[in-house]
Structure 1
Amino acid sequence: MPTAMRPRSRIALTLLGVVLVAVNLRAPIAAVAPLLPQMRTDLGLSRSAGGLLTSLPLLCFGGLSTVAATLGRRIGSERALVFAMLAMAVGSAARIWSAPLLFAGSIVIGAAITVGNVLVPSVIKQHFDTKQGLVTGIYTGALIGGASLASAISAPLAHVDSVGWRGSLAAWTVPEVLALLVWIPSLRVPHRPPPVTPGSVSVLRSKITWGLSVFMGSQSLGYFAILTWFPALLQDQGVSAARAGGALAIFNVMGIVTALIMPSLAGRFSEQRGLALTIAAGWAVGISGLLLAPGAYVLWAIVLGLAQGASISLAFALIVLRSRTPEVARGLSGTVQSIGYLIGATGPFVLGALRDASPSWSVSLVALLSVVVPMAWGAWHAGRKATVG
């Protein structure tokens, strides 16, 4: 943000910018899930192709995270966020016109979200040194809140006369443009790329990096798989589209609760292994519930929502807590999210393909349940007392 501003005003505007970026980092993806039945019918898409709409942004997260970290280093994190929000708005506007543009726009959105994913932890590390846990909680809560809002209103909005699924998706350009406007003043701030330090290289040599990457990947696989297919799973069992969308909204809203609490809670301990393993257990309970007692889907939406909010916020908190400097945080964030989201990208596509190949969702849910094992392994290694860099 501009250095001419008073410190308090600059910090307040930076916090607002962080929140607005966070709102847009999941909403464009979450908005698709309740609309998938309409979109598949209108465009003639299979379940595998529908899952690919969610997997494509995740592949961008995985393939471009290190590129986003390099971009942030060269032009500055704040400037990179300006271009990311501009690209996201363009991608959101483009994807409503045809099936090819739907997929192309999803790729552009995924690339833009990747920049936000990677660079916001570095911005928090740089500007909120004494309030890292609090701001990380606010950031993660806003991220999940954006997804909650998108999943709750996308389907009802699509049923409004003359809106349809295209108009519902296009509506998300509005918060993207708002975020862009808040970050534009940062273009006036000069940026000098920091020198490459040994700490930047040591990120790849740390066991914490690999444990945190597996934890990030496992929880993102679970989150995006549920985000994509939860409404379809419920509708296949006879639940109405409105109630299925409501259950997905509960899943997202409950995540806000633990997302706000977890980073500050994690900061109180030198070791977070117990917290991480408890989160993995929550995932296991929720997925097992959907498999064994699907009629209680509201309860499992609550359990899974609490688990997913805690897991993503702990992952982001550990990126900040385990980094010695903002530069290390940027490198660790890029590496962890690159590996993690490549793992996570397999979830929506694989679960959709398994459902296409089987008569029910049971095989897909068993496959999802097995992901809890590497999640617990990653939690154990990422939660130990140590720092990177």
Structure 2
Amino acid sequence: MTHERTAQSPKTGGRGRRAAGPLALLGVVLLALNLRAAIAGLAPLLPDVRADLGLSSGTAGLLTTLPVLCFGLLSPFAALLGRRIGIEAALLLAMLGIVAGSLVRTAPGLWWLVAGTVVVGAGITVGNVLVPSIVKQDFSDRQGPVTALTTAALTGGAALAAAVTAPLAHIGLGWRGALLLVGGLAAVAAIAWLPQLRRRHVAPVVRLGGAAVLRSPVTWQLAGFMGMQSLTYYAILAWLPTLLRDAGVSAAGAGWALALFNLLGIATAVAAPALAARRRDQRGLGLLVCATWGVGLLGLLVAPALYLLWATLTGLAQGAGIGLALALLVIRARTPESARDLSGTVQSVGYLLGSTGPVLVGLLHDVSDDWTAPLVALCVAVTVMAAAALGAGRDRQV
């Protein structure tokens, strides 16, 4: 998380600001629960969506790429929205956007599904940008524990959605009904968040990195690490259930494997920043993350019957990878201002690279008609990640 200065109004700033209570904490946790669920819930249903709409693997991969592309392209606009209408109102709008997008993508036809997915991605982008801001402003005295709680909620929401959508679809709701139910849970978060509209704050400015940050090799090493981590994570998030079903695993079993993949990331996403902060050089930790990713991916390639073991390893790796990437944004920055610039640049580049993962895997699967080429490509991405970790993990600052 980056350090930002927050503009304060007389009613809310400084000593005059009311302390955030349990209701605000509940609201923040419910917001975080919805920041991956609507994406993760689609992945176990991709085989059903493809069969219903007659989609190729590449087109199906695009559906899971679109929200990630929104993360990379819309983050600056999400920050501007927070400044214009207030962070609390913008977060309410984010939850309503997820609900609205979930409704739109239940309409018949591919383009309604695409349009709804973009709206869902835009809503999640606003939450991605502004939840850390609200944590910093309203929970500054317990920022660490609340950040860990929201990280756990984000990952847990993805795990829950991955676990329940396939069973819900197959008990009569269909894939559209299952997606609507998961996305509609954002309405609960919106209702819980309504009381916070009385606590209006102005969001910090988020801008892309300045010239000094852009000239630093550390910036691009961090961008490479986060980009390859995101590419691999979103590719597995999108295609693991389909890969397993092609290997003979039941739809429910594939969904539970994806839930395990997401659930195990909670612990390592919280633990990795703590481990990184205790040492000056994080290269060993970065290489450990990459090695765990590599073993899990190779396991899926050569022994898919042991899919629960590989889901466990890749789940631990993905949580540690994103936790380490976010921690390095702070550790490698010399000042709060450079932390802000570094975060803006690295996260934009990282998510844009990450958005290519599901489409790349889908296209390779279409071309090769099996999962060997996609998994080998992801192993190459992990190798690039390891090379970037050797630079990003060295004890030096931007």
CA distance in 1, matches of 2:35, 2:206: 28
Whether contact under 8 Å (2:207, 2:341) holds in the other structure is: no
Which among 56, 60, 64 is matched to residue 74 of structure 2? 64
The answer to whether structure 1 residue 135 and structure 2 residue 133 are counterparts is: no
Q: Which position in structure 2 is the counterpart of 1:272?
A: 282
Is the contact between residue 79 and residue 206 of structure 2 (CA under 8 Å) also seen in structure 1?
no
Match of 2:161 in 1: 150
Answer yes or no: is 1:83 the counterpart of 2:97. Answer: no
* Identity over aligned pairs, percent: 56
Please tell me whether residue 311 in structure 1 is matched to residue 321 in structure 2.
Answer: yes
Instruction: From the superposition, tell whether residues 34 and 314 of structure 1 become closer, same or farther in structure 2 (CA, over 3 Å).
Output: same
- Asked if 2 retains the 8 angstrom alpha-carbon contact of 1:136 and 1:313, the reply is no
SS in 2 for 1:155: helix
Change in 2 beyond 3 A, CA 1:262/1:194: closer
**Is 2:156 aligned against 1:159?**
no
Change (3 A) 1:326 1:113: farther
Q: TM-score, normalized by length of structure 1? A: 0.89
Task: Say if 2:111 is the partner of 1:103.
Answer: no
Once residues 285 and 175 of structure 1 are traced to their aligned partners in structure 2, the CA distance between those partners, rounded to angstroms, is: 35
Q: Which residue of 2 aligns with 1:237?
A: 247
CA distance in 2 between partners of 1:277 and 1:69 (Å):
33
Where does 1:1-389 land on structure 2 (aligned, <5 Å)?
A: 3=12, 6-7=18-19, 10=20, 12-98=22-108, 99-129=110-140, 131-161=142-172, 163-191=173-201, 203-322=213-332, 331-385=341-395
Shift of 1:289: 1.3
CA distance in 1, matches of 2:202, 2:211: 20
- Deviation (angstroms), 1:155: 0.5
Question: How much does 1:35 deviate?
Answer: 0.9
Mean CA deviation greater in 123-132 or 169-178: 123-132
Letter in 2 for 1:52: L
* Alignment deviations for residues 285-311 of structure 1 (CA, whole Å, 9 cap, x no partner): 111111222222111111001001111
Opposite residue 72 of structure 2, the aligned amino acid is: G
Shift in CA distance, 293/180, structure 1 to aligned 2, threshold 3 Å = same
Contact 2:222 2:325 in 1 (8 A): yes
Deviation of the 1:353 alpha carbon: 0.8
- Cα deviation, residue 190, structure 1: 4.5
Distance 2:213 2:87 in 1: 19
Structure 1 position 358, deviation (Å):
0.8
Separation in structure 2 between the aligned mates of residue 47 and residue 283 of structure 1, nearest angstrom: 23
Change (3 A) 1:110 1:194: closer
In the alignment, is the contact (CA less than 8 A) between 1:136 and 1:263 conserved in 2? no
Residues 58, 266 of structure 1: alpha-carbon distance in 2 compared, 3 angstrom cutoff: same
Find the aligned partners of 1:69 and 1:103 in 2 and give their Cα distance: 24
RMSD of equivalent CA atoms: 2.8
CA 1:386–1:188: 2 relative to 1, 3 Å: farther
SS of aligned partner of 1:171: helix
Distance 1:315 1:327 in 2: 18
Q: 1:142 to 1:322 in 2, by over 3 A?
A: farther
| Deviation of the 1:386 alpha carbon | 5.1
Q: Counterparts of 2:140 and 2:338 in 1: how far apart (Å)?
A: 14
Amino acid at match of 1:367: A
Following TM superposition, by how much is the alpha carbon of 1:327 offset from its aligned partner in structure 2, in angstroms? 6.7
CA gap of 1:326–1:32, structure 2 versus 1, over 3 A, is farther
CA distance in 1, matches of 2:208, 2:251: 53
- Deviation string 1:184-243 (CA, Å, 9 cap, x unpaired) is 344334445768999977554544433222222111111111111111111111222121
Q: Which whole-Å deviations, capped at 9, do the CAs of 1:232-259 have from their partners, x for residues lacking one?
A: 1111112221211121122112112212
Mapped contact 1:95–1:103 kept (Cα < 8 A): yes
The worse-fitting range, judged by mean Cα deviation, of 146-155 and 172-181 is: 172-181
Normalising by the residue count of structure 2, what TM-score does the alignment of the two structures yield? Answer: 0.87
Taking the aligned partners of 1:378 and 1:213, their CA distance within structure 2 comes to: 8
Q: Does the 8 Å contact 1:33/1:228 carry over to 2?
A: yes
Preserved contact between residue 69 and residue 118 of structure 1 (Cα < 8 Å): yes
AA at the equivalent of 2:130:
L
Unaligned runs of 5+ in 1: none
Q: Aligned partner of 1:348: which letter?
A: P
| Residues 320-354 of structure 1: CA deviation (Å, up to 9, x unaligned) | 55567777655544332211111011111111111
Structure 1 residue 91, shift from structure 2 partner: 0.6
Structure 2, unpaired ranges of 5+: 1-7
Contact map agreement 1:17 1:182 (CA 8 A) in 2: yes
Quote the Cα distance in structure 1 between the aligned partners of 2:221 and 2:21.
33
Q: Secondary structure at the match of 2:248?
A: coil
